[in-house]
């Protein structure tokens, strides 16, 4: 069974631009969660989607948004990029939702904002 797949793996963007990251969950998993990983803050929850609906949202500004498609694939978008958005963005999937259940991470998308 294929794992969680994230694209692109690495990207460099300029301040003010926007970026879209993609995540394909494990086959059969309907929940996709997104996390931001930085050296100082660890893993911080962005949002979770289940059956195309946002189920939970973390404490991030509205510049961070996401969506989920009918095949459970998910995208997250960051608009008006800031230097502080440089981070590893991790997607994780689970069968029925991340609350109280095991989540499986992808390799992540490394975003550098210059």
Binding of another protein by 24 (CB under 8 A): no
- Smallest distance from another protein to CB 78, Å: 19
For the bound state, the minimum distance from the C-beta of residue 94 to another protein, rounded and expressed in Å, comes to: 10
Q: CA-to-CA distance for 55 and 57, rounded, in angstroms?
A: 7
Select from 72, 74, 98, 109 the one that contacts another protein (CB under 8 A): 98
Is 48 near another protein (CB under 8 A)?
yes
84 binds another protein (CB under 8 A): no
| Structure tokens belonging to residue 34 | 């997104």
Euclidean distance between CA atoms 35 and 2, whole angstroms: 20
Residue 37, both tokens: 């990983």
Residue in 20, 22, 56, 79 binding another protein, rule: CB under 8 A: 56
Which position among 23, 26, 90, 111 is part of the footprint of another protein (CB under 8 A)?
90
The answer to whether 43 contacts another protein (rule: CB under 8 A) is yes
Contact 29, 79 (CB under 8 A): no
Residue 2 to residues 20, 62, 77, 84, 108: CA-CA distances in angstroms? 22, 32, 24, 32, 15
């Amino acid at each position: 069974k294929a794992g969680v797949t994230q694209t692109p793996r690495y990207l460099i963007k300029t301040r003010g631009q926007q970026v879209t990251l993609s995540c394909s969950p494990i086959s059969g998993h309907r929940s996709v969660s997104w996390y931001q990983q930085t050296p100082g803050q660890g893993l911080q929850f962005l949002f979770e989607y289940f059956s195309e609906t946002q189920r939970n949202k973390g404490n991030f500004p509205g510049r961070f948004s996401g969506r989920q498609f009918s095949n459970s694939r998910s995208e997250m978008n960051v608009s008006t990029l800031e230097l502080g958005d440089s981070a590893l963005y991790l997607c994780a999937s689970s069968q029925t939702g991340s609350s109280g259940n095991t989540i499986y991470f992808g390799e992540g998308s490394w975003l550098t904002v210059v």
